[in-house]
Amino acid sequence: MSDQVTLSDNDAGKITRVEELGYELKISQVMTADVVTFSPDMSMLEALDLIQKNHISGAPVTQNGEVVGIISTEDLIRALRDGRIDRKVSDYMSTSLITANANDQVVEALKVFARKTVGRLPVLDENGKLVGLLTKGDITNGLLNALKRDYQKEELIRYRASHLFEDIESDRTSLILRYRIIKDDFLHGGAASNYIKKALHRLGASRQVARKCGIAVYEAEMNLIIHTNNGGFLRVEIEPHKITMEAYDDGPGISDIEKAMTPGFSTASEVVRSKGFGAGMGLVNIRSCVDEMTIKSSKESGTNLYMIMHLDKHKD
Amino acid sequence: MKVKEVIEICEGTLLTPNVDLDAVIKGGFSGDLMSDVLASVQAESVLITGLCNPQVVRTALIADVRLIIFARGKKPGEDILNLANEEKLPVAFSPLGIYELSGRLTKAGLPSYEMEMNLFPRD
Distances (CA, A) of A130 to A21, A296, B80, B107: 24, 75, 49, 61
- Helix residue ranges per DSSP H, A93-244: 106-115, 136-162, 164-167, 191-202, 207-227
Q: Residue B7 forms beta bridges with which residues?
A: none
Residues of A in contact with B17 (CB under 8 A): 13-16
- Element spanning A169, H or E: none
Distance CA A261, CA A297 (A): 13
ipTM surpassing 0.95, yes or no? no
Q: Pick from A69, A75, A44: which is nearest to A57 by CA?
A: A75
Strand, helix or coil for residue A288: helix
A178/B contact by beta carbon, under 8 A: no
Substitution target from A196, A200, A201, A222 for chain B, most B beta carbons within 10 A: A222
Identify the residue with better confidence: B24 or A16: B24
For residue A204, what are the contacts with CB-CB under 8 A and spacing of at least 6? A158, A161, A162
Q: What is the pTM of this model?
A: 0.65
C-alpha A80 chain-centroid distance = 49
What pLDDT is recorded for position A1? 40
Report chain A residues whose CB lies below 8 A from the CB of B56: 276
Contact state of B38 with A15 under an 8 Å Cβ cutoff: no
Residue in A15, A211, A288 closest to B63 by CB:
A211
Sequence-distant (≥ 6) Cβ neighbours of residue A255 within 8 angstroms: A299
Within 8 A of A189 by CB-CB distance, chain B residues are: 54-55, 58
| Mean pLDDT in residue range B74-85 | 93
**pLDDT of res. B122:** 45
Write out the residues of chain B at the interface with chain A, using a CB-CB cutoff of 8 A.
Answer: 17-18, 32-36, 38-39, 43, 49, 51, 53-56, 58-59, 61-64, 79, 85, 117, 119-120
Identify the pLDDT of residue B123. Answer: 42
Alpha-carbon distance of A232 to A152, in angstroms, equals: 37
Q: According to the model, what pLDDT value does residue A263 have? A: 82
CB-based contact, A276 to chain B, within 8 Å = yes
pLDDT at B109: 96
The CA-CA-CA angle for residues B67, B103, B13, to 5°, reads: 40
pLDDT given for residue A31 in this prediction? 94
- The helix-helix angle for A282-289 and A207-227 (nearest 10°) equals 150
Residue B35 has pLDDT above 70, yes or no: yes
Cβ distance A275 to B38 less than 8 Å, yes or no, reads: no
CA B72 vs. chain centroid, Å, equals 13
Distances, alpha carbon A127 to alpha carbons A66, A112, A117, A236, A284, in Å: 11, 21, 26, 59, 71
Find out whether A119 and A51 touch, Cβ atoms under 8 Å. Answer: no
Whether the CB of A160 is below 8 Å from some CB of chain B: the reply is no
Q: Which of A275, A283, A289, A290 to mutate to test the interface with B (most CBs of B within 10 A)?
A: A275
Contact yes or no for B119 and A284 at CB 8 A = yes
Each residue of B43-56: pLDDT tens digit?
A: 999 999 999 999 99
Mean pLDDT of B76-84: 94
Are B55 and A276 in contact (CB < 8 Å)? Answer: yes
Under 8 Å CB pairs connecting chains A and B tally to 88
Answer whether A175's CB lies under 8 Å from A237's CB. Answer: yes
pLDDT of residue A118: 86
DSSP string, B38-103: HHHBPSSEEEEES--SHHHHHHHHHTT--EEEE-TT----HHHHHHHHHTT--EEE-SS-HHHHHH
| Sequential pLDDT tens for chain A (316 residues) | 444 445 555 555 555 677 778 888 899 999 998 899 999 999 999 999 999 999 988 899 999 888 999 999 999 999 999 999 999 999 999 998 899 999 999 999 988 988 888 889 999 999 888 999 999 889 989 988 888 887 888 778 777 777 778 778 888 889 999 999 999 998 899 999 999 999 998 888 888 999 999 999 999 999 999 999 999 999 999 998 899 999 999 989 998 888 888 888 888 888 888 888 887 888 888 998 999 999 999 988 999 999 999 988 776 5
Q: How far is the C-alpha of A38 from the C-alpha of A57, rounded, in Å?
A: 13
- Select from A17, A147, A218 the residue whose CB has the most chain B CBs within 10 Å, as the one to mutate to test that interface: A218
* Closest CA–CA distance from residue A279 to any residue of chain B (Å): 6
- Whose CA is closest to A215, among A239, A187, A243? A243
* Least Cα separation, residue A57 to chain B (angstroms): 33
Closest CA to A294 of A246, A240, A226: A246
Instruction: Determine contact, residues A243/A237, Cβ cutoff 8 Å.
Output: yes
Residues making up chain B, counted from first to last:
123
The closest of B58, B52, B115, B86 to A218, measured between CA atoms, is B58
